[in-house]
Chain A
Amino acid sequence: MSPISMTVNGVPVSAEIDPRTLLVQFLRDHLRLTGTHVGCDTSQCGACLVQLDGAAVKSCAVLVVQASGRTVTTIEGLAGSGALHPMQEAFREHHGLQCGFCTPGMIMAGLDMVRRHGPFLEADQVRTELEGNLCRCTGYHNIVTAIIAGARETAMPATRS
């Protein structure tokens, strides 16, 4: 067993844990933060994206011990209780989902694009950036629209009436 401590969604947490535990298992099974999804067993689908020290990573390809001492933000931590983050709101507004299983990862991917490229994203750029996120329902069209709109709202919330 290994001791770990980290900040998850602004809250300090610590545990004694089997070092084989993946970050996503810790989030879902130990902290009951089930908004982060496991869509594959091969680290290819991107449904498990979380922010590790601000950058989007696949929580199924990180051991929880590697994240010790660091800061994790999950989909639950993006907005206050009952509220939606502007990127979440954009997915609702533009219907950027069908079954919704991939959505937490898509939103994390969208926010990471804002972090690296700023508020003005092009459709081609978003499609290229989404190479690590699989959606089996939508054909991606509305996801791309939602991310472009959500990127502007995230960086410049005042532009929305």
Chain B
Amino acid sequence: MFAFTYHKPGDTGLAVELASRNPDAKFLAGGQTLIPTLKQRLAAPSDLVDLGALGDLRGISVCDEGVLVGAMTPHEAVASSPLMKAHIPALADLAGLIGDPAVRQLGTLGGSVANSDPSADYPAACLALGATVITDRRRIAAADFFLGLFETALEPSELITAIVFPAPQGAAYTKFRNPASRYAMAGVFIVRGTEDVRVAVTGVSGDGVFRWQEAEAALATDFSEAALGDIVLPAEGMISDMHGTGAYRAHLASVMARLAVRRMGVSPWPEQPL
């Protein structure tokens, strides 16, 4: 990897200051994407600001708005949290499907969301649940946060400190994993609220996570697999690579959406992750 200057600040203010002083600085959260990227020399930050000492960015609690998850909370902590399982079990399920056990031990919510990989899992949950991203300087609605491929509304040196997820009436996440990378080939997060249904799709579009409005409208009228009937995403603009064509991913999104609806109607839920 290319050389960098390493910092390990003890508080959030200092972390932001270090990052703002160096325009090519990067925050290091769990490092499960960033370090492999550095190893392959695909990034060359001048400075790495390690967030590992910021203990106040870890933890899960319940607040008026829903479940508040600190940005440095690892996936494993979300997956095994009794609080999360009680309030948003679909989000605990999602966290348990990220990467593999060793990756989940270190990889963090804030790192995943800030990276905004078009095939990452958390962005689908943020968008469908109507989460709010809390940074060192403001609050950003998930709908305004994800701007495209690896692009977010974050300003340079802006640091995510927590994300708050409203607890839904019902929700489910289904994912078809790439067997090698474990990233989503198609991941669909469905939230059934009192007034509307929200469907967020990840892993499919070249522009990153998006709301699938046609499916939302159909499910709002009739919440059933049949209602999704012939609704298919267009193949154009969908990710097409050695793992699958755009048409294949568009079809997978339909299948995942139907399975998510089925899962929400079935009790007990299937135990095996899809």
Residues of A bordering B, CB below 8 Å: 2, 18-20, 22, 41-44, 46, 49, 52, 55-58, 60-63, 65-66, 109, 112-113, 116, 124, 128-129, 131-133
Contacts and interface: CB of A to CB of B under 8 A. Distances in A.
Contacts of A2: 6
B101 A132 contact: yes
A49 B180 contact: no
A46 B102 contact: yes
Q: Which 10 A-B pairs have the closest CB atoms?
A: A132-B100, A19-B6, A43-B36, A131-B100, A61-B35, A55-B105, A58-B102, A20-B1, A132-B102, A57-B105
Interface residues of B, number: 31
A66 B101 contact: no
Interface string B71-99: 00000100010000000000000000001
Contacts of B35: 22, 43, 61-63
A65 B5 CA distance: 11
B31 A63 contact: yes
A133 B28 CA distance: 25
A121 to B, nearest CB: 13
B6 A112 contact: no
A137 B18 CA distance: 47
For A2, A56, A58, the residue with the greatest tally of chain B CB atoms inside 10 Å of its CB is A58
Interface string B1-42: 101111010000000000000000000100110011011100
B255 interface: no
Interface of B: 1, 3-6, 8, 28, 31-32, 35-36, 38-40, 48, 50, 52, 76, 80, 99-103, 105-106, 180-182, 272-273
A149 B83 CA distance: 32
B252 to A, nearest CB: 20
B159 to A, nearest CB: 18
Contacts of B273: 128
Contacts of B103: 43, 58, 61, 132
Given A2-B6, A43-B32, A43-B35, A56 B48 contact: no
B99 A132 contact: yes
10 contacts: A20-B3, A20-B4, A42-B36, A57-B105, A61-B35, A61-B36, A61-B103, A63-B50, A131-B101, A131-B182
A40 B251 CA distance: 33
Given A20-B38, A112-B101, 12 more contacts: A18-B3, A43-B39, A55-B76, A57-B105, A57-B106, A61-B32, A61-B36, A63-B50, A66-B31, A128-B272, A131-B182, A132-B102
Contacts of A18: 3
A56 B6 contact: no
Contacts of B5: 19
Contacts of A124: 272
A61 B35 CA distance: 6
A44 B179 CA distance: 11
Contacts of B36: 42-43, 61
A19 B106 contact: no
Nearest to B52: A66
Nearest to A55: B105
Contacts of A60: 39
Contacts of A61: 31-32, 35-36, 103, 106
A63 B181 CA distance: 21
B184 to A, nearest CB: 15
Contact of A19 (B48, B80, B101, B272): B48
Contacts of A19: 4-6, 48
Contacts of B182: 131
B102 A57 contact: yes
